[in-house]
Amino acid sequence: MATRIIDADGAIVAPGFIDPHTHYDAQICWDGAVTPSSWHGVTSVVMGNCGVGIAPCRPESREIAMRDLVNVEAIPYGVLEEGITWDWETFPEYITAAANRAPTLNLAFLAPLTPFRHYVMGQESLERAATPAETRRIKVLLGEAMDAGAFGFSSTILNQHLGFEGRPLACRNASRDELKAYSNVLKERGKGAIEIALTRQIGVLEDEQCELLDFLLAESGRPVTFIALFDRDDIPEAVRDTLRRAAPMIEKGARPQTSPLPLTREINLRSPFSFAAFPSWKRVFADTSKEAQLAVYQDRAFRDQFREELKSPLTFGNWERITLHEARSQNLKSLEGLSVAEIARSLGQDGVDAFLDTAIADDLACEFTMASFNTRVDRMAELLNDPNILIGLGDGGAHVDMLCDSGYPTYLLGTWVREREVLSLEEAIRRLTSDPADLFGITDRGRLHPGLAADIVVFDPATVGSTNRGERRYDLPGGGKRMVMPSHGVEYTIVNGEVIYASGQLVGSGSGHVLRS
């Protein structure tokens, strides 16, 4: 029998939203409500994306795992060092530890390939492919993860995914023989999905990546979702070309993934993830002390190499898009709000020198904003109306000091449904609920039906929404800074029948479950 009745007159009562792409793997150690996702009607999150994570992990390898998260997901090392509880070693133990904390939201896990390779191969996983014997051991561990409830595995081939000491993330070294064996784990069990960061240049899918996508589909017999599908106005036909190339694989079960948000991020040159794809910047990730970074930024050879790399048509190359948002030094305050291109013109410099000299003058404390992708309304309308595209890419828990996109569900409902009328309310809700649930095989969520879990969001369709600009808070372990995106119009978030969020406040905890495949 119900113990409480909620008056939802005039509101929309929908299944709780499922976020298919998060990096809350560390944050669940100190924040069971996985904020800010829970503020936006999200009741279940899928973690372990992009091949990076913290389980399995031997005690002597914890620093490497944390440095991977620093470089790939731009989570400050001090936050991880203080916040991760390390009450596990194996992946099944990690899932059990998560359940023992009685989370507020439901947690679903992918098995990220990097820590599995490192667990078996040690630091050699950062340098080479696995031997047949090592591959068999890694396959066994992945099988154990799937049997413990993982919903598949994840990997990446992105150039910007640099891990410990600025070296390629370990899963980037996996051979085709390895990927065949790991994909077969899913085929043998008839369940799960693969997530892979596939487009080396954001929004551009090349023939080599199409072939890899086809290979993963064939060897797993399961769905594959790949990132990142962002519209680029500097390469106007990139998205259409990518979808054309991917069409044969989409017919076989591939799902490109995009965000309904314009991609706007804060850039701080202490955490320069935005430039990790440039070979010249590998030196910055090899030693992340401020002294070492300052030395690189001042080096003329580094600057010249960066200039050459910017000449490629597939890089951003537009300093008008990068704006000085905030400077600590009073001497630089007059430049706030100006683009790097404007600063360069005022100083008689090019963009590279103006950008780096400004940061150096502020002892790397200043913050820039960069607006880059998903800015054209007409092209975004095309993407969002394509039912083959998975809506997600919230990246919750990652890049915490530069952006927050995890509020995308309310942005979709407020901006694209109510204001721009690009999607119907019913279709938007389906894309946020049953669509991701079906992809990963989460069978008891994503719908309101007798016998299914009572994960529910109640929202006001007239006010629901969020802005794509977050606000700063200093509530991470050790007082670390993060960007969060508040929500509007979410009246209740209900997890397994318990109200956990109401009237803009967290009001409950402990009702979430660890979901198992």
174's tokens: 């996996």
Average pLDDT over residues 2-13: 91
CA-to-CA dists, residue 322 to 178, 319, 368, angstroms = 40, 5, 6
Question: Does 60 lie in the same domain as 182?
Answer: yes
Question: Does 363 lie in the same domain as 390?
Answer: no
What is the distance in angstroms between the CA of the first residue and the CA of the last residue of the chain?
A: 29
**Using CA atoms, how far apart are residues 91 and 97, in angstroms rounded to an integer?**
10
Question: Does 392 lie in the same domain as 502?
Answer: yes
**Using CA atoms, how far apart are residues 511 and 184, in angstroms rounded to an integer?**
35
Question: In which band, very low, low, confident or very high, does the pLDDT at 392 lie, cut at 50, 70 and 90?
Answer: very high
Counting Cβ atoms within 10 Å, is residue 375 exposed (0-12), middle (13-18) or buried (19+)?
A: middle
In a domain, 271, yes or no: yes
CA–CA–CA angle 175, 157, 155 (5° rounding) = 75
pLDDT at residue 313, rounded to an integer: 58
pLDDT at residue 160, rounded to an integer: 78
Judged by average pLDDT, the poorest of 22-31, 35-44, 51-60, 481-490 is: 481-490
Residue 506 DSSP SS3? strand
Question: Does 175 lie in the same domain as 43?
Answer: yes
Question: In which band, very low, low, confident or very high, does the pLDDT at 102 lie, cut at 50, 70 and 90?
Answer: very high
In a domain, 236, yes or no: yes
Percentage with pLDDT > 70 across the chain: 97
Domain endpoint, select from 321, 337, 371:
371
In a domain, 2, yes or no: no
Question: In which band, very low, low, confident or very high, does the pLDDT at 468 lie, cut at 50, 70 and 90?
Answer: low
Q: What is the CATH number for 230?
A: 3.20.20.140
pLDDT over 60 (residue 43): yes
Question: Does 431 lie in the same domain as 482?
Answer: yes
Average pLDDT over residues 249-267: 89
Percentage with pLDDT > 90 across the chain: 77
pLDDT over 70 (residue 355): yes
In a domain, 512, yes or no: no
Question: Does 219 lie in the same domain as 82?
Answer: yes
Domain count, the chain: 2
Question: Does 199 lie in the same domain as 89?
Answer: yes
**Using CA atoms, how far apart are residues 133 and 467, in angstroms rounded to an integer?**
50
CA–CA–CA angle 33, 38, 41 (5° rounding) = 155
186's tokens: 């899913």
Domain endpoint, select from 354, 371, 388:
371
In a domain, 183, yes or no: yes
Quote the radius of gyration of the chain (alpha carbons, Å).
Answer: 22
Domain endpoint, select from 371, 404, 426:
371
Question: Does 64 lie in the same domain as 109?
Answer: yes
Question: Does 195 lie in the same domain as 74?
Answer: yes
For residue 356, report the phi and psi dihedrals to the nearest 5 degrees: -70, -40
Question: Does 292 lie in the same domain as 238?
Answer: no
pLDDT at residue 192, rounded to an integer: 97
Question: Does 367 lie in the same domain as 393?
Answer: no
In a domain, 6, yes or no: no
Question: Does 104 lie in the same domain as 66?
Answer: yes
Domain that holds residue 337: 267-371
Residue the block writes with tokens 């997890």? 495
In a domain, 3, yes or no: no
In a domain, 44, yes or no: yes
Question: In which band, very low, low, confident or very high, does the pLDDT at 126 lie, cut at 50, 70 and 90?
Answer: very high
pLDDT at residue 230, rounded to an integer: 85
pLDDT at residue 1, rounded to an integer: 64
